[in-house]
Amino acid sequence: MGTIIKGKEIANKYKKEISDFVENRKKEFKRVPCISTILVGNDAGSMLYAKNQKRICEQLGLKYILNTFEENTKEKEIIDNIERLNSDNNVDGIILMLPLPKHLNEKYITSKISYKKDIDGLTDINTGMFYKGEKCFIPCTPKGIVKLIESTGINIEGKNAVVVGRSNIVGKPIAHLLLNKNATVTICHSKTKNLKEVCKSADILIAAIGKPNFINEEFVKKGAVVIDVGTNRVEGKVVGDVYFEKVINKADYVTPVPGGVGAMTTTMLMLNTCEALNRNVY
């Protein structure tokens, strides 16, 4: 049987680093890192994520500000708020909760966030810097995935990595990060032929397709590291894209859902906020 990669335990190590950073600033009578989140409407997932952000900020000593807007809020009002936060030297990170209501231009509004405060790594400037290999904010979920893989002690360099899913949020950036670690990377998607065979070539398999229990033992090479990014609701339970009970008997390492990748994402957001404070001298 393989080993479970316990995301919560690994996240706690980074939380300790963040907490120590905040405490040291307090001792030096310096302000603590501050996140300002923008929430438009009543999307259940966004509301839950914002609540989780607040809880962890309070736990680690960061300042958290939630800006809420009604579902029918006009675009200009949200952009005015973003520009105010951009110029506020007491705010280090800005998060725009997505998806936005349909009448709003998501891409345009996101582009108004200063890349210096784009701790989610969503702006075009930050994305361009990321793919050019320049210093920037690394998107939180891919950043957490790399740290989970590294926690196993395996050397990513030279490994065959397969990413199932090509989203701009997870699939493409994690492929880029693994390339930067000198892995040989294949990106798969709905049009990929012989998907099982491609996946079975992977030393590192990343599942990010949004299909519950899709990746079973037939997709997995013996001894592989399997990272499950999926979050799906099935009969009231949260399950991943990986059929955990079957894959754990074949892979060397597997992340659970919940308690794996998700546990790292918000922690990486806090880590990016601390980096923002260090980079931007006010």
Sign, Cα dihedral of 9, 44, 68, 89: positive
What's the rounded Cα separation, in Å, for the pair 99 and 45?
A: 9
Question: What are the binding residues?
Answer: 165-167, 231
Look at residues 181, 148, 144 and name the one whose alpha carbon lies nearest to residue 271: 144
Over range 57-61, report the average pLDDT: 96
According to CATH, what is the number of the domain 140-262? 3.40.50.720
Quickly count: other Cβ atoms within 10 Å of residue 122's Cβ.
22
Q: Would you list the domain boundaries of the chain?
A: 28-114, 140-262
- Which pLDDT belongs to residue 177? 98
- Which pLDDT belongs to residue 235? 87
Architecture category of domain 28-114 in CATH: 3-Layer(aba) Sandwich (3.40)
Over range 141-147, report the average pLDDT: 97
Q: What is the mean pLDDT of the chain?
A: 95
Answer whether 46's CB lies under 8 Å from 97's CB: yes
- Which pLDDT belongs to residue 80? 98
Over range 113-130, report the average pLDDT: 96
Answer whether 31's CB lies under 8 Å from 273's CB: no
Q: Do domains 28-114 and 140-262 have the same CATH topology?
A: yes
- Which pLDDT belongs to residue 281? 59
Question: What are the binding residues for NADP(+)?
Answer: 165-167, 231
- Which pLDDT belongs to residue 236? 86
| Residue 106 identity (one-letter amino acid) | E
Q: What is the CA radius of gyration of the chain?
A: 19
Quickly count: other Cβ atoms within 10 Å of residue 57's Cβ.
24
| pLDDT range class, residue 44, cuts 50, 70, 90 | confident
Question: Pairing state of beta strands 204-207 and 34-40?
Answer: unpaired
pLDDT tens, position by position, 8-26: 999 999 999 999 999 999 9
Q: Is the pLDDT of residue 48 over 90?
A: no
Residue with tokens 């905040």: 22
Angle at 118 (CA atoms; ends 113, 119), nearest 5 degrees: 150
- Which pLDDT belongs to residue 76? 97
- Which pLDDT belongs to residue 103? 95
3-state DSSP assignment of residue 20 = helix
More confident residue, 234 or 76: 76
- Which pLDDT belongs to residue 40? 97
Q: Is the pLDDT of residue 282 over 60?
A: no
Over range 144-155, report the average pLDDT: 97
Contacts of 77 (CB under 8 A, 6+ apart): 69
Cis amide bond preceding 99, omega within 30: yes
Quickly count: other Cβ atoms within 10 Å of residue 58's Cβ.
11
